[in-house]
Amino acid sequence: MGSSGEIIDRKQHDIAAAANAATYDEVLTRTCTELSPHIKHPTLKRLYENLIADLYQRAAENSSVPAVLDIGAGEGSVTLPFLEFGCRVTAVDLSTSQIAELEKKCSRYADRLETRCMDVTEFLETTAERFDLIVANSFLHHVPDYVGLVEKALMLLRPGGQFFSFQDPMRYDTLPPVTRIYSGAAYIGWRLFDGDVIRGIGRYIRRKRGVYLDDSPEDNTEFHATRNGVDQNAIAEMLRKQGFEVEIVPYFSTHSPFFQKLGETLNVADSFGIVARRTDR
Ligand SMILES: C[S@@+](CC[C@H](N)C(=O)[O-])C[C@H]1O[C@@H](n2cnc3c(N)ncnc32)[C@H](O)[C@@H]1O
């Protein structure tokens, strides 16, 4: 570890990783798919499915059995479609219950699936494998240094390889005020309906105090995701510097079906995907 900055980053990373391991327990694993906007809202599901079909087509130009790395794979919502396409997938996640669910869901394709229950950073730093496609779905907002993590991941891509991320909130302070207000209101509306207001206030107070207690469910929930969203432009800029063609795909995403429809009608965007391809093949 070179500098104090790196040490702080590593400490923040470890807190977020511990909070994620505690948050993604068996209970959350059971409800994950109901909670995921990109799975439950038909318009987002369609967008997402079209993007991954295109990614597969391109990967298949590189290799007859494309090798996919799914980072923060969770219970396998991206791993499964790539296995169905015929890819070989390595799925990495630090939650034992998420990985167990992924293995159950993908058991038909066990001969093309490898699972690794560990921190993604540790995997990226130690593996000798190389991939045609790296996917990070609803994952980057769980990592404090997400730009550094993506940069590390790119080193594992073969020439002509692709990077794909989806379902991350855009960096909040880059959103126009109207979008921020609408997005915040939609979230609060969903929380009120969900009956989670009191716990939400508890989480907010703890985070303001900068205290992380690893045996507190409120702290784990609060620390398991970044608070200012994910900087789509910083990731895109880093990818372009590394010689990638990059497309940012903006869209609106929230939990409540009512606010989702309204947001789409108002044409606001608060979430994004990134499709990037190495141009050196
Ligand atoms: C919102 S879920 C997304 C799961 C899946 N990719 C999907 O699209 O449904 C985020 C996942 O990231 C995992 N995770 C968070 N931080 C991690 C880390 N540092 N290393 C490995 N997995 C991590 C969590 O355990 C959780 O399963």
Condensed to tens digits (0 to 9), the pLDDT of residues 38-71 reads 777 889 999 999 999 999 999 999 899 999 999 9
Residue 4 — pLDDT band, cuts 50, 70, 90? low
Q: What is the pTM of this model?
A: 0.85
Question: What are the b/e assignments for 23-32, b being 16+ CB within 10 Å?
Answer: bbeeebbeeb
Q: Is residue 193 in some structural domain?
A: no
Classify 80 in phi/psi space as left (phi over 0), alpha (psi -120 to 50) or beta.
Answer: alpha
Structural domain of 145: 4-172+224-278
Neighbours of 176 (CB within 10 A): 11
Nearest atom of ligand 1 to the alpha carbon of 118: 21
Tokens of 232: 């789509």
Q: Is residue 45 in some structural domain?
A: yes
Q: Is 119 in the pocket of ligand 1 (CB under 6 A)?
A: yes
Of 10-14, 21-25, 128-132, 265-269, the poorest mean pLDDT is in 21-25
The alpha carbon of 36 and the centre of ligand 1 are apart by a number of angstroms equal to: 12
Residue 117: partners with Cβ closer than 8 Å, 6 or more residues away: 93, 94, 95, 96, 99
Residue 119 — pLDDT band, cuts 50, 70, 90? very high
Residue 182 — pLDDT band, cuts 50, 70, 90? confident
CA–CA separation, 101 vs 96, rounded Å?
A: 9
CB-CB contact of 112 with 90 (8 Å): no
Q: How many helices (H) and strands (E) does the chain have?
A: 13, 7
Q: Which of 39, 45, 75, 93 to mutate to test the pocket of ligand 1 (most atoms within 8 A of CB)?
A: 93
- Overall domain count for the chain: 1
Helix or strand or coil: residue 271?
strand
Is the pLDDT at 272 greater than 70? The verdict is: yes
- Kind and range of the H or E run holding 127: none
Helix or strand or coil: residue 255?
coil
Is the pLDDT at 218 greater than 60? The verdict is: no
Helix or strand or coil: residue 105?
helix
For residues 70-76, average pLDDT: 96
Q: Is residue 235 in some structural domain?
A: yes
Q: Is residue 149 in some structural domain?
A: yes
Is the pLDDT at 100 greater than 90? The verdict is: yes
The more confident residue out of 49 and 27 is 49
Q: Is residue 195 in some structural domain?
A: no
**CATH number of the domain within which 43 lies:** 3.40.50.150
pLDDT of the residue at 38? 72
Q: Is residue 135 in some structural domain?
A: yes
Tokens of 185: 């209101």
Q: Is residue 188 in some structural domain?
A: no
pLDDT of the residue at 2? 45
The alpha carbon of 141 and the centre of ligand 1 are apart by a number of angstroms equal to: 9
Tell me the average pLDDT of the chain.
Answer: 85
How far from chain centre, in Å, is Cα 260? 19
Q: Is residue 180 in some structural domain?
A: no
pLDDT of the residue at 215? 55
